[in-house]
Amino acid sequence: MYATTVTPRFGDVDGLGHINNTVLGNWFELARNPIFRIFRPDLNLSHETWPLIMARTEYDFTDQLFFQYDVEIRTWIYRIGTKSFTTYHEAWQEGRLCVKGKAVVVHFDFLKNKTTPIPEDKRKLLEEHLFTE
């Protein structure tokens, strides 16, 4: 598991005083950076070298998030396929699970515009962070 602490910004708050639902996608993406580093340690976003593309995201809001408290994003690998993997995220605030979500990330060759198998060495590193219920 990876853990990332996020301090909400004033602009993250909606008219009801909650963290806006659109913010969680950004926070979960930020929390995927350690996973991205498995594939590109320098995080170089060149089309010639970047090997990942997003295919799907989903979120379930289970409690409210507020401006005045930090949020811990916990990130695991939920599933590993041949050419893709799924991340699982939880957003915790003040001891409460507030949001959970998944993202499907595909191993992709931008030059050939096609999916490619996840290399075995990368697969082993992903396996170290598998989610267990």
pLDDT of residue 47: 84
What pLDDT digit, counting tens, does each position of 14-25 carry? Answer: 999 899 999 999
- Per-residue pLDDT of 55-72, as tens digits, reads 999 999 999 999 999 999
DSSP state letters, 51-117: -EEEEEEEEEE-S--BTTS-EEEEEEEEEE-SSEEEEEEEEEETTEEEEEEEEEEEEEETTTTEE-P
Residue 30 sits at φ, ψ, to 5 deg, of: -55, -40
Contact 60, 99 (CB under 8 A): yes
Q: Work out the average pLDDT over 58-87.
A: 97
Whole-number Cα distances in Å, 16 to 21, 59, 77, 130: 12, 20, 33, 36
Cα–Cα dist 121/31, whole Å: 22
Give 86's strand partners: 79, 104
Confidence of residue 133 (pLDDT cuts 50, 70, 90): confident
Domain 2-127: state its class: alpha beta
Residue with token string 């602490």: 5
